[in-house]
Structure 1
């Protein structure tokens, strides 16, 4: 029983969440382009912070059980989405939900394309800024080079997928990320929103799914590490630059393209349009 004048901390029911999500995506499309770009840069930095945390957590973990290591890495990675949700940011993967606005007839494809372009660009700028700071701050030298090796290993694994597999992995990733974002709309407290971020994000990290904005940091930071590392680094980790010859700008682009397509399908179609169909579609 609700006590008068007391806040309601119960979860928002699914049908109300759908209406709230529609308001949120329409608000995203109406923001001034400069505001959208700045918020997107910040979101790129926030996700990069989570990715950096993940990379360092994975450093030197070869002797730890695979699943346990990935679980811990996924949990710490979730701080990136927590920052986006609580501190404010425009993240491309959640912006795929703008397709709901098209389905309800309140947004045109031109509005969506403009928003996606600005947010994607801003996320990329933020990710590159943070990757550059991390590399030239010497963070990759930590653990006698194990942090840098972790970055290289992560990038090598991501660049080893064929095009179609990257689409599928991107789809599965943003299915989880947008469901995660959807759950944060249900939570009424900061703690509730933070908790809603943890397990879905950990799940996609554990499974090795592909997040386009995370890859905007994880792949360039490995590329830059490889570019600036000296002979002492390679000697310390027992590898050479030739062992990571697949980490090239061309391969990074060829990863981001299919992963981005998959993210749109997973978030915009599988979450956004399915929720529209169930809760917001005008039934006649």
Structure 2
């Protein structure tokens, strides 16, 4: 369109086309791009920790705002470079309900990308911690965040996971609405900044935070704590994607005779 934006119907059609492309992508490409997706989100997480920890003692409010402003760089890299990210890939559900991909294709993508997102997040966590990128203040800030995530109730993790991925998928969808790079950047940036500022839980970001904290101090919590957090947050993230993707589909795309 002349104004550079997609209509809602064009937008849902594009979400379906993206879903078809992702569902039919060769396994090796999914693995490689999954690693990049996890690494990009982890880099955003590392930037969040470092920027926030520098001011948390003097101005905790601004420290949180600054970290939230830095974190979206990770998703911007995912969107602009075409990496695979589990949370936004849950929008494949739109292509599935439109009968353009099979359930097996959808699960193949989501499981593969989830696992290799962790590989990417682990690589960045290892390099960041073992390479000395975190000073004492950053490590203390990271460990405090990670401990709270492990100690949170299952219900809290689940509902925060839902709202997190409503915003993440909303950010990705907003990036689809624009045909120019600046529009994509702004569209993706603001919702991600909001979820970090509020304190919602993102499964792939948590892979980085919890793994990095564990690498820094193995006695902080057990592997079971990481799995506990990821299980409930992942469930919430899946529901969050459904909560934004399916209403868009049924409101703007599904034909009445279907």
Q: Which range, TM-score by smaller chain?
A: over 0.9
2: CA distance between counterparts of 1:9 and 1:222? 46
Residue 9 to residue 64, structure 1, CA distance change in 2 (3 Å): farther
Match for residue 232 of structure 2?
258
Structure-1 separation of matches of 2:42 and 2:176 = 23
- Structure 1 residue 69 displacement after superposition: 2.3
Name the counterpart of 2:169: 178
Structure 2 Cα separation of the partners of residues 165 and 124 of structure 1:
22
Match of 2:87 in 1: 93
Task: Specify the alignment match of 1:138 in structure 2.
Answer: 132
Question: What secondary structure, in the 3-state scheme, does the structure 1 residue paired with 2:6 have?
Answer: coil
Q: Which TM-score applies when normalising by structure 1? A: 0.87
Q: CA deviation at 1:66?
A: 3.9
Q: Is the 8 Å Cα contact of residues 9 and 188 (structure 1) preserved in structure 2?
A: no
Query: Could you tell me how far 1:65 is from its partner in structure 2?
Result: 4.2
- Tell me the SS of whatever aligns to 1:62: coil
1:9–1:189 contact (8 Å) kept in structure 2: no
Q: CA deviation at 1:61?
A: 2.5
Paired residues of 1:104 and 1:280 also in contact (CA < 8 A): no
The equivalent of 1:5 in structure 2 is: none
In the alignment, is residue 200 of structure 1 matched against residue 191 of structure 2? Answer: yes
Contact 1:128 1:217 in 2 (8 A): yes
Structure number with larger C-alpha Rg = 1
Structure 1 residues 20-169: aligned runs within 5 Å: 20-140=14-134, 142=135, 145-169=136-160
The Cα offsets for residues 28-80 of structure 1, whole Å up to 9 and x where unpaired, read as 00100110110010011000110000010111433344443222111100000
Cα distance in 2, alignment partners of residues 263 and 209 from structure 1: 10
Paired residues of 2:68 and 2:197 also in contact (CA < 8 A): yes
- TM-score, normalized by length of structure 2? 0.95
Instruction: Could you tell me which runs of 5 or more consecutive residues in structure 1 were left unpaired when the two chains were aligned.
Output: 3-7, 228-240
Root-mean-square deviation (Å): 1.4
1:273 paired with 2:246, answer yes
